[in-house]
C-alpha cells in the first residue's frame, strides 16, 4: 500500500488540506499501519501458547524499539521538527530512515503535523489535542480517544509546503520521505531474517516477524501516541505555556523522555526535554553522546534565566 502524503499539495499559503484523496490516504494508513499491527499483536500473544519466546525475540523487540524510538524522538522530533542541534549528513539520513521504520507516516508529513500541533497546541486547529471535546469524564474520554486514535483516521492535513518547505527542497530527505513504505517493510524484513537465521527455521523467522516487527510496531505506535493523549491530560505543570501540556513521569522511559511535555512546550527547540536531573530523557542522552563524539554540535538548551522566567510559582499556581 503506497502512501504519498507529500505529493499533490497546493501552494505555500494554504496551511491545511482536506479532500477525499487525503482522507482516503489517512484511512488506509490507519488500517495498514495502526490496526493491522494491533491484530498482529493479538496473534503474537495467542501464539505464546505453543511458541514461547526466548532471549532472541525479547532482544529483537528491545533493539528494534530502541532504534525506532531514536529515529522518532531524536530524529523526526528534535532534529527535523525543532532543529535542536546540528549533525552530519550521514547521521541525518540514518535518523530519517530509523524514524520511518516506526511507521508513523512519511518524515515530511510527520514534521508538518507536529509543527502544526505546536502552532495551535490545545486550540482549534491542533490535529490531536485531547482538550477540545467537552468537560467532565465523557469529554476527557472523547478527547483521549481522539488524540490517541481518532485523529489518525481523519484530520485536516498540514500542508508541507507551508510547514516544512526546507525539507521539500532537500532532495535526499524528500527521497527518503517518498520511500516511506520501503523503510517500513525493511523494519519488518530485518527481524524476520535475523530470527530465521538465529533459529535456523521458518518458525524462528515467524517469531522474528511477530516480535521484532509487528509487536514492535504496535508498542512504538502507542508509546508515541501516548505523548499526544496522556501527556496533555495527566501530569504536572512546572512552566507557563499556552496549552494543557503536562509532565508525565510514568512513560518517560518508553517514550525516550518525550512525556515531559510541559517542559517541551515551554522550550520547543531544546535538545533536552527532561530538564531536571531526575527527569529521565534517553533522547537527550543520545544527543549528548553524539556531541561528545563530535557528531552533533550547536545543541540548544534553555538558560537558567529562560527557565526561571517561565517557571510557575506557588502564587501563580
Residue written as grid cell 477540545: 132
Q: Is residue 99 part of a domain?
A: yes
Distance CA 289, CA 263 (A): 21
Q: Is residue 6 part of a domain?
A: no
Q: Residue 158, Cα to own-chain centre: how many angstroms? A: 16
Q: What is the pLDDT of residue 5?
A: 54
Q: Is residue 1 part of a domain?
A: no
Q: What is the pLDDT of residue 313?
A: 72
Q: Is residue 7 part of a domain?
A: no
Q: Is residue 30 part of a domain?
A: yes
Q: Is residue 14 part of a domain?
A: no
Distance CA 107, CA 167 (A): 9
Please give the chain's pLDDT, 317 residues, in tens.
Answer: 445 555 545 566 799 999 999 999 999 999 999 999 999 999 999 999 999 999 999 999 999 999 999 999 999 999 999 999 999 999 999 999 999 999 999 999 999 999 999 999 999 999 999 999 999 999 999 999 999 999 999 999 999 999 999 999 999 999 999 999 999 999 999 999 999 999 999 999 999 999 999 999 999 999 999 999 999 999 999 999 999 999 999 999 999 999 999 999 999 999 999 999 999 999 999 999 999 999 999 999 999 999 999 998 744 54
DSSP 241-284: -SS---B-GGGTTTTTTTTBHHHHHHSTT-S-S--STTS--HHH
Residue 239 DSSP SS3 = strand
Q: Is residue 256 part of a domain?
A: yes
| Domain count across the chain | 1
C-alpha dihedral (140, 141, 145, 150), degrees to nearest 10: -80
Domain that holds residue 276: 19-310
Q: Is residue 42 part of a domain?
A: yes
Alpha helices in the chain (DSSP H): 20-30, 36-47, 55-69, 89-101, 107-119, 136-145, 151-153, 160-163, 165-169, 171-178, 180-199, 202-207, 215-228, 261-266, 282-292, 304-310
Q: Which residues contact 154 (CB under 8 A, 6 or more apart)?
A: 23, 26, 27
Nearest to 182 by CA among 255, 107, 87, 281: 107
Amino acid at each position: 500500500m503506497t502512501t504519498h502524503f507529500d505529493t499533490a499539495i497546493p501552494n505555500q499559503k494554504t496551511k491545511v488540506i482536506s479532500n477525499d484523496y487525503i482522507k482516503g490516504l489517512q484511512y488506509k494508513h490507519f488500517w495498514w499501519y495502526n490496526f493491522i499491527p494491533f491484530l498482529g499483536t493479538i496473534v503474537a500473544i495467542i501464539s505464546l501458547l505453543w511458541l514461547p519466546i526466548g532471549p532472541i525475540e525479547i532482544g529483537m523487540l528491545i533493539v528494534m524499539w530502541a532504534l525506532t524510538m531514536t529515529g522518532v524522538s531524536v530524529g523526526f522530533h528534535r532534529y527535523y521538527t525543532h532543529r535542536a542541534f546540528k549533525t552530519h549528513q550521514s547521521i541525518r539520513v540514518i535518523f530519517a530512515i530509523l524514524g520511518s521504520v516506526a511507521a508513523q507516516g512519511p518524515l515530511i508529513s510527520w514534521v508538518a503535523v507536529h509543527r502544526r500541533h505546536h502552532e495551535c497546541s490545545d486550540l482549534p486547529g491542533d490535529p490531536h489535542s485531547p482538550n477540545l471535546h467537552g468537560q467532565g469524564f465523557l469529554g476527557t474520554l472523547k478527547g483521549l480517544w481522539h488524540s490517541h486514535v481518532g485523529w489518525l483516521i481523519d484530520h485536516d492535513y498540514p500542508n508541507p509546503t507551508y510547514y516544512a518547505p526546507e525539507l521539500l527542497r532537500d532532495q535526499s530527505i524528500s527521497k527518503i520521505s517518498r520511500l516511506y513504505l520501503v523503510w517500513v517493510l525493511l523494519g519488518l524484513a530485518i527481524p524476520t531474517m535475523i530470527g530465521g537465521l538465529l533459529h535456523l527455521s521458518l518458525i524462528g523467522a515467524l517469531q522474528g516477524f511477530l516480535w521484532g516487527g509487528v509487536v514492535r510496531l504496535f508498542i512504538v505506535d502507542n508509546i508515541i501516541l501516548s505523548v499526544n493523549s496522556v501527556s496533555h491530560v495527566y501530569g504536572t505543570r512546572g512552566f507557563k505555556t499556552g496549552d494543557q501540556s503536562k509532565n508525565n513521569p510514568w512513560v518517560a522511559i518508553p517514550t525516550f523522555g518525550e512525556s515531559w511535555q510541559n517542559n517541551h512546550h515551554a522550550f520547543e527547540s531544546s535538545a533536552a526535554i527532561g530538564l531536571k536531573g531526575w527527569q529521565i530523557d534517553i533522547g537527550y542522552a543520545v544527543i549528548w553522546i553524539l556531541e561528545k563524539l563530535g557528531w552533533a554540535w550547536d545543541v540548544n538548551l534553555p538558560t537558567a534565566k529562560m527557565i526561571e522566567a517561565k517557571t510557575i510559582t506557588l502564587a501563580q499556581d
